[in-house]
Copies of this chain bind each other. A is one copy, B any other.
Amino acid sequence: MIISMRLHATADEIDQVCERIKEFGYKVHSIVGEERVVIGVVGVGDVTACLESIQAMPGVESAVRISAPYKFVSKEFKPNHTRIRLNGIEIGGDDFCVMAGPCSVENEKQIMETAEGVAAAGAKILRGGAYKPRTSPYDFQGLGVEGLKLLAKAREATGLAVVTEVMSDGEVGLVAEYADIMQVGARNMQNFALLKALGGCGRPVLLKRGMSSTIKELLMSAEYITAHGNANVILCERGIRTFETATRNTCDLAAVPLLNELTHLPVIVDPSHATGKRSLVPPLSRAAAAIGADGLIVEVHPRPERAMSDGAQSLTLEGFREMMEQLRPCLDLWRQFRAPMNVVAVRQSIK
């Protein structure tokens, strides 16, 4: 921690701050500058509590933490990239992993047709929403358990693993019965009750970045899941909300290599929600591979113009096949660039 005192802070104010710091068990190093006093805090203790307290004291200009607020998810804690194994595949391993499927599970025909199509094109995991977070209470909210059962059926038919969203801590047990990977949607990235419940769910978790969440907050949410017992977290960049409205969100693709410097967790990209436009999905997917993401999650629908949600950003089965073919040469590159990732020294970090 570094505390900057105000320009005209009194000796008394400075003393009180030092006293308070010591109450938390820390040691104090004061630096008397030309203009003001800066206090370095050294030791082990409850950083947040100390910060909160100091920030509220008279004469304090600012108090900032230097150490990262997360631990288990950091590259310092575990230098090797995490590999998550399920159904004979690996996320974060030696292959680029593509998850694909419709926004919502709508009926048996739709999900079976999609599952077969994306499997044939090379996807390893089937995505599909049974519980749908919709802005309007009047919009289709998903098939619920019925949707989960259809996903399980599609898994049986195709061998694809299944990833699907869970929206409430009360439904974690139910969804875990059917899903191979539990998805936390962007709107729930800081639903802490849900994150805690997922700590004990026994399944890998796909954690989507909140639309206005920083990279640090994303890592803190992953830390919640990990600290509550579940180390298998996959991070997902899906675009953030900015002033630009020409695309649905703004894809922060540079977050991928930055996350690779900060954490050992796998990182995938969702080019469908990031752009909201079908035509931008294939180029963004190539870029995601080139920048070193561990995989993709892509929306695909056999008849996008009949989709109950997100049709405009869904690829057709044919479009997905083409995209997967375009990706192939990128993946040779990907293997080449990815190789040194696990051994590279940690060279950069969130300021």
Interface on A for B, CB 8 Å cutoff? 2, 4, 6-8, 20, 29, 31-36, 38, 40, 42-44, 48-49, 52-57, 61-62, 64, 66-67, 69-70, 76, 133-140, 167-171, 187-188, 190-194, 196, 210-212, 214-217, 220, 223-224, 227-228, 240-247, 250-258, 261, 271, 274-275, 277-280, 283-284, 286-292, 304-312, 314, 326, 329-330, 332-333, 336-337, 345-351
Given contacts A190-B135, A254-B247, A351-B61, contact A76 B7 (CB under 8 A): yes
Query: 22 A–B contact pairs at CB < 8 A?
Result: A31-B40, A33-B66, A34-B42, A34-B43, A38-B40, A53-B305, A135-B217, A136-B223, A168-B191, A170-B170, A212-B212, A212-B241, A215-B244, A240-B242, A241-B243, A242-B242, A245-B351, A247-B254, A250-B254, A283-B291, A283-B337, A333-B333
Query: A110 → chain B, closest Cβ, in Å?
Result: 14
B214 touching A347 by the CB < 8 A rule? no
Residue from the list B137, B271, B307, B347 in contact with A279, Cβ < 8 A: B347
Residue from the list B76, B171, B187, B254 in contact with A280, Cβ < 8 A: B254
A284 touching B52 by the CB < 8 A rule? no
Which B residues are CB-close (under 8 A) to A254?
247, 250-251, 271, 274-275, 280, 283-284
Give complex CA distance A311, B20 in Å: 14
Given contacts A305-B57, A333-B333, contact A250 B247 (CB under 8 A): no
Residue from the list B212, B308, B351 in contact with A211, Cβ < 8 A: B212
B42 touching A137 by the CB < 8 A rule? no
Closest residue on chain B to residue A35 by CB atoms: B67
Which B residues are CB-close (under 8 A) to A187?
190-192
